[in-house]
Amino acid sequence: MPNWTRRRWLGAAALGGGAAVWALRPGETGAPHAARFQVLTRALRQAGLTQPTLVLDRAQLQANARQVRANLDAALALRLVNKSLPCLPLLDELATLLATERQMVFNLPYLQLLAEQRPRSEVLLGKPFPVAAAAHFLAQPPRSGFDPVRQVQWLVDTPERLAQYRELARQRRQVLRINLEIDVGLHRGGLPDEAALREVIGLLQGEPWLQWSGLMGYDAHTEKIPDVGGLRAEVRAQVQQRYRSCLDTVQASPLARDRALLTLNTGGSPTYRLHRAVGAANEVAVGSALVKPSDFDTPLLADLQPAVWIATPVLKVAAWRAPDGVGALGTLLRGWDRNQRVAHFIHDGHWLAQPDSPAGLHASALIGASSNQQLYLGSGRQGLQPDDLVFFRPTQSESVLQQFGDIAVVEGDRVVAMWPVFPARA
């Protein structure tokens, strides 16, 4: 091949390769706030809220509650998970909409708060308490009229813990209602097999200070495993079979009771729709699904919509310049990706949340997360200016809802209430 021909061929190949590479360049994205977030912005501005704020769309919350109730078998009871809805007015609203006073509680401070402030609540613990925590609660009974003997079910997961609770009940000469945690496949604890179940049956039977009140089996793992080759359906069936087997074992013992008097709890936000009254369980627990953070964007929850966001002001807007030391790399990235042209520094940040509106914002790969002034890059199509708001969608509701003080409750284009949250406790 003559040299001039070779040079022409190489030049064409280089141009073609460059075009192919250039075709991989990210497209420009971004847009101003959608109408929903323009309304929320007006509401927050009219209310004079200038700090990062947790915002709740009350109409959407109510719509989610109605949808959950419509999805549920009418014969199944519903229990609110208060760690995922850590706000008494929020729980009150949902308790009214869903016609339930049943709550699932996960720590001593929240049990004390609920007993004092909402004495009609019927409580099932969502995880086993150390016996010392139970002793502390019983030694300082609520002044509200809440009755721990009648209104609390203590969750027990091992024969050893049951023996501790038996000793506490004997010392206090006080009846304790015992709900047994069973392992239905998650393997996060609970009675793992029939031998352990029979051991606790032996400890319970004939003990006047302990009363068996039901079972609790959490099954969230079924929706996290790969849905390949029917595996998910198989595991769902195993959960039902395991639960039924445990119930049959207890009901065949001297502990047997009328099923209507038992609390047979299962499910959770990811799985509540899988359960029917014809199954072994007679109630499900729901919390996060009612406000729907992004971790709950699953097929079973597709008919529910987000109801909470974090709103935070933009503090600074400028052309993006990477810090000294990586300036050249920053220039390359900005030239390559038009979505890295504009820097937006927000008030605080580094939450369990992702930007939701305006569209097209993303964290910088060159600057790490900041809880003080986090950087988000964009194309500029967002049209943000200092003091404008950015809305983040939480990935979960537990813990996150408690990070911002009172929740701003929005109806229409107005903040109609500020709901206090539970103290931030584990």
DSSP string, 90-112: HHHHHHHHHT--EEEE-SHHHHH
- pLDDT confidence band for 208 (50 / 70 / 90): very high
Q: What was the pLDDT predicted at 339?
A: 82
Kindly list the distances between the CA atom of residue 110 and the CA atoms of 133, 155, 164, 320, in Å, as whole numbers in the listed order. 12, 15, 22, 45
Say how far apart CA 165 and CA 203 lie, in whole Å: 11
Mean pLDDT for all residues in the chain: 92
Give CA separation, 388 vs 37, 356, 383, in Å: 11, 14, 9
| The dihedral sign for the CA sequence 214, 127, 244, 275 | positive
Q: Is the pLDDT of residue 139 over 90?
A: yes
- Gyration radius of the chain over CA positions: 27
C-beta separation of 372 from 19 below 8 A? no
| The pLDDT of residue 338 | 84
Q: Which amino acid is at 394?
A: P
Residue where the block lists tokens 């959960």: 239
More confident residue, 241 or 329: 241
pLDDT band for position 214 (cuts 50, 70, 90): very high
Over 80: is that where the pLDDT of 392 sits? Answer: yes
> Residue 5's pLDDT is what?
47
Q: Report the pLDDT averaged over residues 51-65.
A: 98
**Coil, helix or strand at residue 245:** helix
| Average pLDDT value for residue range 346-355 | 97
Residues 265-277, mean pLDDT to the nearest whole number: 96
Q: What local confidence, expressed as pLDDT, does residue 425 receive? A: 64
Q: How confident is the model at residue 367 (pLDDT cuts 50, 70, 90)?
A: confident
Among 20, 25, 23, 29, smallest CA distance to 332 is for 25
Residue 54 reports pLDDT greater than 80: yes
* 308 strand-pairing partners: 56
pLDDT for position 334: 66
- CA nearest 362: which of 347, 372, 374, 348? 374
Closest CA to 131 of 158, 151, 149, 113: 158
Which residue would you say has higher pLDDT here, 19 or 86?
A: 86
pLDDT of residue 364: 86
Residue 142 pLDDT more than 50? Answer: yes
Position 336 pLDDT exceeds 80: no
Q: Rounded to whole angstroms, how far apart are CA atoms 322 and 263?
A: 58
Let me know how long the chain is: 426
Q: Cβ(421)–Cβ(405) under 8 Å?
A: yes
User: Residue 176: which pLDDT band, with cuts at 50, 70 and 90?
Assistant: very high
Q: What is the pLDDT of residue 322?
A: 78
Q: Is the distance from CB of 101 to CB of 122 less than 8 angstroms?
A: yes
pLDDT above 90: percentage of residues in the chain: 85
Residue 214 identity: G
Is-contact 41 387, C-beta < 8 A?
no
For 130, counting Cβ atoms within 10 Å of its Cβ (0-12 exposed, 13-18 middle, 19+ buried), the class is: exposed
Q: Name which residue leads in pLDDT, 23 or 103.
A: 103
Instruction: Tell me: pLDDT of 355 over 50.
Output: yes
Where is average pLDDT lowest: 127-141, 157-171, 328-342? 328-342
Q: Which range has the worst mean pLDDT, 21-30, 142-151, 213-222, 323-332?
A: 323-332
- Model confidence at 17: pLDDT above 70: no
Q: What is the pLDDT of residues 233-251, one digit of tens each?
A: 999 999 999 999 999 999 9
* Amino acid letter, residue 265: N
pTM (2 d.p.): 0.91
* 412 residue type, one letter: G
What is the rounded CA–CA span in Å between residue 301 and residue 298?
5
Q: Which residues have a Cβ under 8 Å from the Cβ of 239 and sit 6 or more positions away?
A: 184, 185, 217, 219, 222, 266
Buried b (16+ CB within 10 A) or exposed e, 248-261: eebeeeebeeeeee
Q: Is pLDDT at 15 greater than 80 in this prediction?
A: no
Q: What is the pLDDT of residue 19?
A: 63
Structure tokens that stand for 352 in this block: 């369990």
Q: Note the pLDDT of residue 2.
A: 47
DSSP state of 144: S
In this model, does residue 137 exceed pLDDT 90?
Answer: yes
**123 and 105 in contact (C-beta within 8 Å)?**
yes
Between helix 231-251 and helix 194-204 the angle, nearest 10°, is 30
- pLDDT greater than 70 at residue 86: yes
pLDDT in the model for residue 68: 98
